[in-house]
Amino acid sequence: MLSLQEIRFIDLRQSKYDKEKADRAKGVYPFTKKTYVNYHSDASVRPPYYLTWCRYNPQNGLRELNEWKIKWNFSPVTTNDDYVPEGVTPNAEGLYVFGDLVFVKCPIQDYINKRRHEMRVSENAPKAIQKQFQAEAKSYGVDLDDEQLEKMLRNRG
């Protein structure tokens, strides 16, 4: 049984296969050379998309997939795209579904920008909490500057 961690993504643009015997609708590609997507190597093939899996539940109106579309600009990878999850065949709608997950793509620049934004928010969260604490302390008549607060935090243990 194939596990999610074992599934690699094939880049059809870089791979070699018999195009006359290939059947995209069925996910059949007689490969002579497979080229896998790898975001971690300098020598790898990096598509213009970030590829991953998203929860796919038609019973809840595809809530997670729709949220990803809105927040991240993700869309399902179909048989018309040039990326295939190895060992997963497309369903009747041309989507690659594995259990309760669907194979999706997001333009890589959108993904990078969103991740950078999330990292900035995450890095700034402690500062915002510190400012909130200082404002609350000030409302009780205690004026703490950054240095005093830092000293209190170091000595709390």
Report in angstroms the alpha-carbon separations of 97 from 9, 131, 143, 157: 14, 46, 57, 50
Measure the CA–CA gap between 70 and 78, rounded to whole angstroms. Answer: 19
Residue range 68-91, pLDDT digits in tens: 999 999 999 999 999 999 999 999
Of residues 48 and 133, more confidence is placed in 48
Average the pLDDT over 113-137 and give the result.
Answer: 84
Average the pLDDT over 95-121 and give the result.
Answer: 93
CB distance 3 to 21 below 8 Å:
no
- Least trusted range by pLDDT, from 2-11, 35-44, 56-65, 87-96: 35-44
Q: Where are the domains of the chain?
A: 4-112
Measure the CA–CA gap between 39 and 107, rounded to whole angstroms. Answer: 14
Residue range 40-58, pLDDT digits in tens: 766 556 789 999 999 999 9
CB distance 53 to 102 below 8 Å:
yes
Give the residue among 105, 83, 102 at the shortest CA–CA distance from 93: 102
pTM: 0.76
User: For residue 117, is pLDDT > 80?
Assistant: yes
User: For residue 139, is pLDDT > 90?
Assistant: no
Name the average pLDDT for the chain: 90
- So what's the pLDDT on residue 109? 93
- So what's the pLDDT on residue 43? 59
